[in-house]
Each structure stands twice: as structure tokens, then as C-alpha cells.
Amino acid sequence: MNKSPEGTGQAPGSTDTTPAIRAEGLTVVRGPRTVLRGIDFTVPRGQITGLLGPSGCGKSTLMRSIVGTQAKVTGTLDVLGRPAGHPELRTRIGYVTQAPSVYDDLTVRQNLDYFAAILAPGRHAADQRHADVTRAIEDVDLTGHTDALAGNLSGGQRSRVSLAVALLGTPELLVLDEPTVGLDPVLRRDLWQLFHDIAARRGATLLISSHVMDEAERCHRLLLMREGQVLADDTPDALRTRTGSDTVEAAFLHLVDEAVAAAAREKETAR
């Protein structure tokens, strides 16, 4: 388990010091609810940022906003130097939703061939597609299962096929919505190792959501959310120190208690 993440915050060879993501006063309304409430944060390049918080706090909504699939987004949201949803960002971002996007009746390679053909169509790109697919399969450690039907894979292997699809175009930003949910501890450890490899080797930025607080310890930085607001935007070490806690979980609970107490005081003053 990678408990002491290393990262420079800067992609190798890159001179771009602007954040990968910058949000100011970001607000999102879904149906009758204001799901994100004027939040501010930045995500540095070349690192793994964990997005943590209880179910329903707005993690997926935030990710959808970043990748440009969410309606009713107001405020500032810049992604890789462009406004979220800009067409130029489509090939620069990889997004893996909670439901693996794989076709069960195709093999691992056929699944990837299909998505590679959408990204780079035409005969002239055939060699490049083949190389990209082979590399993506290697990246997620599924080389031994290349010709297996996706429907015959385990849950964790299917998740890795979905991740391989997101890796096809060597994205600069990977947005992964609970990629380890339901996986056993060994697979979870292996996937986190892979995430660190991707950040270190390619200088890619990863934004990864999770409910599981021990995964927070494996991130370079954390965005802790609660009820549509960002409770903290810091490193795991700084969070533990600031709250006098031994674990990120204890730090999070401390911050929640503080937020609840502050809200109660505000209510009392307003009476």
C-alpha cells in the first residue's frame, strides 16, 4: 500500500503551472436541489487528488461538471486551462463512471478496438490503434485476458477494462468515479498502485472519488466534501496535523463536527 505518496505536482517535462482544475463559486442545481453550493478549490497537475465525502454529498455531480456532462452549472470551472465542457477537452480527459462501460459479448481487445476506432477512425490509423489498445491493456494488467469475453471477467477485471478505455487516448486528466467500489483489498491495492504509476510515469492528473477513508491516505491531496460544500482542500498530512488526528477518517469527522457546531451557532445567532 502506498502510504507516502510522492509527487511533484508538475507533469514531467511540463512547464505549465496552472492548476489542472480551478473552481470558484461553483454552483450546480439538479431538479429542485442546489447540489453544489458555491464551492472553491484547485486540483494541481500531476498528482492524485481524492474526492471524499458521504453518499449524496455531490461527488459525482462535481465530476460530471468537470467532464462537461452536467447541466445548470454556474460560477467558474476551468479544466486544463479551458472552461469545463470545451470541445478541445474531449480528447484530453478520461472519465470512468461508476458503472463499467464494457460490452459483455465482446472480448477485452474487441471492447478496446471499438472505442479506439471512435477516437481514431480510418484505415490509416490502424497501426496506431493497435499499439494504443495493446498499451492500455498492459497498463491495467489484463494482457493475460486479452481474448476473454468481458462477460466472463470478474467485477474488478471489468472495472479495469473500463479504466483501459479511459486510458486509450493518453489523457492528461483522469476522472474516476469510485473505481474501487466493491473490490477486494488485493485488487484495490493493485489499482491504487496503477493510479500512482500513471501519475508518476505520465505526469497525468487523477481525480478519484471514494467513500473509503483508508484510500484517502493514498492520495497526494484531498477534497473533503459534505452536503455540497468543500470542508477541506489539503494534503492528508496537513489535515491530520491541523485537526490533531491520527487518521484522515478522524480528521474528516473532526471537520464535520466543527461544521455542524458552526451551523448551530449561526442558527442561534439568527434567532
Ligand X SMILES: Nc1ncnc2c1ncn2[C@@H]1O[C@H](COP(=O)(O)OP(=O)(O)OP(=O)(O)O)[C@@H](O)[C@H]1O
> Binder to ligand X among 11, 20, 21, 35 (CB under 6 A)?
35
CB of 34 to ligand X, least distance (A): 9
Counting residues that bind ligand X (by CB under 6 A) gives 13
Task: Say how far apart CA 95 and CA 73 lie, in whole Å.
Answer: 18
> Binder to ligand X among 2, 9, 10, 30 (CB under 6 A)?
30
CB of 227 to ligand X, least distance (A): 9
Say which amino acid occupies 262.
A
Cβ nearer to ligand X, comparing 7 with 53: 53
Task: Say how far apart CA 156 and CA 146 lie, in whole Å.
Answer: 15
Part of the chain binding ligand X (CB under 6 A), chosen from 16-24, 27-35, 108-116, 165-173? 27-35
Which grid coordinates belong to 75? Answer: 460560477
Beta strand 73-79 with 82-83 is antiparallel
Neighbours of 117 (CB within 10 A): 14
CB of 179 to ligand X, least distance (A): 12
Cβ nearer to ligand X, comparing 30 with 202: 30
User: Under the criterion CB under 6 A, does residue 223 sit at the interface with ligand X?
Assistant: no
Cβ nearer to ligand X, comparing 56 with 182: 56
Q: Shortest CA distance to 175 belongs to which of 101, 100, 97, 95?
A: 95
Secondary structure of 75-129 as H, E, C letters: EEEEECCEECCCHHHCCCEEEECCCCCCCCCCEHHHHHHHHHHHHCCCHHHHHHH
Answer for the pair 204, 46: CB distance below 8 angstroms, yes or no.
Answer: yes
CB burial string 135-168: b at 16+ within 10 A, e below? ebbebbebeebeeeebeebeebbbbbbbbbbbbb
Which grid coordinates belong to 210? Answer: 471514494
State how far the alpha carbon of 10 is from the alpha carbons of 50, 77, 104, in Å.
17, 20, 38
Enumerate residues 226-265 that contact ligand X by CB under 6 A: none
CB of 210 to ligand X, least distance (A): 9
**By rule CB under 6 A, what string of x and - marks binding of each residue 50-89 to ligand X?**
---x-xxxxxxx----------------------------
CB of 78 to ligand X, least distance (A): 20
**By rule CB under 6 A, what string of x and - marks binding of each residue 135-174 to ligand X?**
----------------------------------------
Cβ nearer to ligand X, comparing 13 with 31: 31
What is the DSSP secondary structure assignment for residue 138, as one 8-state letter?
H
Cβ nearer to ligand X, comparing 46 with 100: 100
CB of 208 to ligand X, least distance (A): 13
User: Which residues make up the interface to ligand X (CB under 6 A)?
Assistant: 30-31, 33, 35, 53, 55-61, 211
